[in-house]
Structure 1
C-alpha cells in the first residue's frame, strides 16, 4: 500500500471512531431523556438499566453510522485542505479522484459490514430492546407507599402514609384498610410509626408497625358462640408485622415471542416469507369474495308472458315482479331486499377491512425489506457529499464541518423518515419510499465531487463578493449611459 493511501486511511479512521462514539453518546442521552420517567423510581437493578442502554445503543447504529461517515469525511478532507496537504497531493500529479479512491474502498467495506449488521444483529437488538423497554414501561413504580396518598398498589389493601423519613423506609402515621377475604375479616389498622423493607428474595414487602391500634369486625354465629350479632374487636399493640406479596409488582419479563411478528425484528428471509404469505392471503381473499356473496343471491323464474315485444335485438320487459303483488307484499319484498343488501354490504365491508390489513402488512414488509439495503448505500451517498465538501471548505476540526454535516444529515434524515412513512401508509411504493432520500442526495454528492475536482470556490465568500461587485458595476454603467 502506498504511503499516501495509508496516510489518508489513518486520517479518516481516527475522526471516524471519535465522531461515532460522540454521536452514539448523544443518541443515548436522547434515549435517556425520552424515557427517564419510565425508568426512574421503579426499583430496577443496575444491570437492567445497563442492558436496556446496550440494546438502545445497538439500535442507534443505523442513525449514528451514516452521520459519522459524513462528519468524519468532511473533517478528514477539510483538515487536509486546511493544512495544504491536498495542494501538495495535487501538485504531485495526483487528482482528487485518486486521493478519494482509498477512502471510498474503506467506506465500501464499512457499508458491507453495515449490511451484515442490519441483516443479522439489528433484528435481534430490536427484539431485545423493544421487549425490555415494554416491560420497563409497564412496570409499576417502586414507590409503593407515597406520602399523603391512599395507595392501592397491593390487592385487598389500601394504605396511607402521612410522612416518610429520608431513608424511605421509616413511616409515620400509617393507616391500613384491609378488605375482607376468605380467611380474614376486614380490619382497620392505625400506627404511629412503622418500617418497610423487601424480603431477601424480593418476593415480599415487609411492614413492621409500633404503637398502634387494630379495629376489626367479624360475623357472629359460630359453633361455639351462637350469638348472630357481629363482633367489634379492638387491639392495642406494641409491635405488628405484615408481609405483602410483590408478585404483581415485581419486574417480570414478557416472552420475546410476542414481539417477533414486528417487521423490525425480521431479517430479509423472514420478510420474504412474510410477503409471500401476505400475497397468498390477498389473492385467496379476493377469490373467495364472490363465493361468500353468492350465498345471499336469489334467482327467480320469470315467466315468458311478460315479454311482450322485441325491439332492435333486445327484449322489452313490460311487467315487473311486483306488478301483480299487493301493497303489503310489495312492502315485504322491499324490506327483504333491503335486508339482503345490508347483509351483503356488511359482509363485503368486513372482507374489505381484512383485505386492507393484508395489503398494509405486505406493504410494510416490503418497505422494511428495502430499508435493509438503504443503510449500506446511505453510507456511500453521504461519503460522496462529505469528501468533496471537506475539500471545498478546507476547514477541519469540530467547527464548520459539524454545522455542515448536521444540516445535510437533517435533510437526509427528514426525507428518509417521510419516505418510509409514506411507503408504510401506501402513499408511495416501497422502493420509492425507502430510496427517495438516497436518490435526492446522490446528485448533490456528484455535483460537489465535480466542483471539488475542478477547484471550485463554491464556499468562498470573496468570490461571491467579487461577483456581486461586478454585477453592480455593470448595472451602474447602464444607468450612467441612460
Structure 2
C-alpha cells in the first residue's frame, strides 16, 4: 500500500470514529429524553438502565453509521482541500478518483460489516431492546406511598403518608386501613413516624412504625338474648411495629421474549424468507378455499342448440322479473337476496383474513429489502461526502456538519416515507425500501463529476458576479 493511501485512510478513520461516537451519544440522549418519564421513579436497578441503554445504542447504529460516514468523508476531504493537500496530490499526477479509491475500499468494508450487523446483530438487539422497554414502561411507579394521598398500591390496604423526608424513606403521620382478609378482621393503624425499605430479596416493602395506635373491631364470642352479635372494640398502643407488604406484581417482571419474536424487525433474512414462503402458501390456499366455497352458489343453465327448423328466435332480453306471477317474482327476489347475504357474510371474514395475510407479506418483503439498504446507504452517502468535501474545502465541525445534516435529513425523510409506503402497500417493497438510495445516488454521481472537473459549485463569488451581471444588464436596458 502506498504511503499516500495510508495517509488518506488514517485521515478518514480518526474523524469517523469521533463522529460515530458523537452521533451515538446524541441519539442516546434523544432516547433518554423520550423515555425519561417511563424510567425515572420506578425503582429500577442501575444495571437495568445500563442494559436498556446498551440495546438502544445497538439499535441506533442503523442511523449513526451512514451519518458518520457522510460527516467524516466531508471533514476528511474538506480538511485536505483547506490545507492544500488535495492540490499537492493533483499536482503529483494523481486524480481525485485515485485519491478517493482507498477510502472507498474502507467504506465498502464498512458496508459489508453493516450488512452482517443488520442481518444478525440488529434483530437480536431489537428483540432485547423492545422487550425490555415494554417491561419498563409497564412497570408501576416505585413511589408507592406519595405524600398526602390515599394509596391503593397494595391489595387489601389503603395507606396515607402525610409527609416524607428528603431521603424518601422517613415517614411522618402514617395511616393504614387494612381490609378484612379470610378470618382476619379489618383494622386501622395510626403512627407518628416510620421508616420504609425493601427486603434483601426485593420481594417485600417493610414499614417500621413508631409511637402509634391500632384500632380494630372483632365479633364477640357471646350472644345476646335479642340475637344481635356484639362487636368488641380493641385499642392497642405500640412503640414499634413492623408491617410487611408483598411487592408481587409491583416489582420488575420480565415478559417472555418469545412473545416479541413475531415482529418483523426481530427477524433476520432467513426468518423473513421462511415467513414470506409460508404466508404466500396461506394466501394461495385461502384463494382456492374461497373458490370452492363460492361454487355451490353459482347456477349453471343448459341452453339447447338452435334448431334448423326455425329461422328466427325471440330474444330473451326482458330479464327474469318480466315473467311469472307476482308471488313467483317475490320468491325469486327473496331467494336471490338470501344467497347474496350468505355470500357476503361468508366472504367478509375471509376477506379480512386475506387482507391481513397480504399486508403481512408486504411488510415482511419490505423489511427483507431493508436488510440491504443499510450497507448500500453507506456507499451512497460516501459518494456525496467525499466530493462535497473536495468542493467546499472546509474541515472541522462547522460547515461540514451543516451540509451533512441537510443531506442526511433528505435521505432519512425519503427513507422513512418510502418504507412506510411499502408497509402500507401504496408502493412496492423494492421501490419503498430503495427509494432513498435512488434519490441520493444521482446527487453523489453529479457531485463526483463536479469535484473531478474542479468545478466551483459552491463558490459564492461566482454566483455574486453572475447576479451582478444580470442586474447591470437590467439597469442598462432600462436606461
Return the alpha-carbon distance in structure 2 between the equivalents of residues 339 and 185 of structure 1.
64
- List structure 1 segments (4+ residues) > 6 angstroms apart after TM superposition: 298-302, 316-319, 329-333
Structure 2 counterpart of 1:473: 472
Separation in 2, partners of 1:220, 1:208: 30
CA distance in 1, matches of 2:256, 2:188: 40
**Residue 235 of structure 1: aligned partner:** 235
Q: What is the CA RMSD across the aligned residues, in angstroms?
A: 2.7
How does 1:224-373 map onto structure 2 within 5 Å?
229-238=229-238, 239-294=240-295, 297=297, 312=313, 315=316, 323-324=324-325, 326=327, 337-373=336-372
Give the stretch that moved more between structures: 149-158 or 119-128: 149-158
Distance in 2 (alpha carbons) for counterparts of 1:112 and 1:154: 53
- Structure 2 stretches lacking a partner, 5+ long: 305-309
How far 1:181 moved relative to its partner?
Answer: 1.7
Q: CA deviation at 1:404?
A: 0.4
Q: Decide whether aligned partners of structure 1 residues 73 and 343 sit closer, same or farther in structure 2, where only a CA change above 3 A counts.
A: same
Report the Cα offset of residue 384 of structure 1: 0.4
The answer (yes or no) to whether the contact 2:19–2:72 under 8 Å persists in 1 is yes
- The SS at the match of 1:251 is coil
How far 1:242 sits from its partner (Å)? Answer: 1.6
Q: Closer, same or farther in 2 for the Cα pair 1:266/1:408, shift >3 Å?
A: same
Is 2:157–2:178's contact at 8 Å kept on the other side of the alignment? yes
Q: Distance in 1 between matches of 2:97 and 2:422?
A: 36
Distance in structure 2 (CA, Å) of the matches to 1:294 and 1:219: 74
What CA distance in whole angstroms lies between the structure 2 residues aligned with 1:341 and 1:179? 60
Deviation of the 1:300 alpha carbon: 11
CA gap 1:220/1:439 in 2 versus in 1, 3 angstroms = same
Deviations 1:295-338 (A, max 9, x none): 6x397999x9xxxx997476578876994565xx9777755654
Alignment partner, residue 171 of structure 2: 171
Flag the 1:213–1:438 CA change in 2: closer, same or farther, 3 A. Answer: same
In structure 2, the CA distance between the partners of 1:219 and 1:461, relative to structure 1 (3 Å rule), is same
TM normalised by structure 2 equals 0.92
* Paired position in structure 2 for 1:56: 56
SS of the equivalent of 1:148 reads coil
Unaligned stretches of 5+ residues in structure 1: none
Is residue 384 from structure 1 mapped to residue 383 from structure 2 by the alignment? yes
SS at match of 2:229: coil
Change (3 A) 1:230 1:79: farther
| Alignment partners' CA distance in 1, 2:314 and 2:323 | 25
2:172 pairs with 1:157: no
Rounded to whole Å, the distance in 2 between the matches of 1:321 and 1:191 is 92
The corresponding residue for 2:307 is none
Q: Which residue of 2 aligns with 1:13?
A: 13
Q: CA contact under 8 A between 2:321 and 2:329: conserved in structure 1?
A: no
Alignment of 1:194-233 (within 5 A): 194-219=194-219, 229-233=229-233
Q: Closer, same or farther in 2 for the Cα pair 1:278/1:185, shift >3 Å?
A: same
Is the deviation greater in 152-161 or in 285-294?
285-294
Give the Å deviation of 1:252.
1.0
Residue 139 of structure 1 aligns with which residue? Answer: 139
Q: CA deviation at 1:119?
A: 0.8
CA contact (8 A) 1:213 1:234 kept: no
2:111, 2:376 within 8 Å by CA — same for their partners in 1? yes
In structure 2, C-alpha distance between the alignment counterparts of 1:187 and 1:349, rounded to whole Å: 58
Greater alpha carbon shift after TM alignment, 143-152 vs 329-338: 329-338
Counterpart in the other structure of 1:28: 28
* Conserved 8 A contact 1:217-1:230: no
Q: Distance in 1 between matches of 2:134 and 2:250?
A: 15
Residues in 2 aligned to 1:271 and 1:351: alpha-carbon distance in whole angstroms: 24
Paired with 1:58 and 1:146, the residues of 2 have a C-alpha distance of 36
Which stretch shifts more, 313-322 or 5-14? 313-322
SS of match in other structure, 1:422: helix
Query: In the superposition, relative to structure 1, how do residues 181 and 344 fare at CA in structure 2: closer, same or farther (>3 Å)?
Result: farther
Q: Summarize the Cα distance change of 1:464–1:210 in structure 2 as closer, same or farther, 3 Å threshold.
A: same
Partner in structure 2 of residue 456 of structure 1: 455
User: For the Cα contact (< 8 Å) 1:215–1:232, is it kept in 2?
Assistant: no
Does 195-204 or 3-12 show the bigger shift? 195-204
Give the TM-score taking structure 1 as reference length. Answer: 0.92
Cα distance in structure 2, aligned partners of 1:269 and 1:29: 33
Distance between the aligned counterparts of 1:230 and 1:70, measured in 2?
84
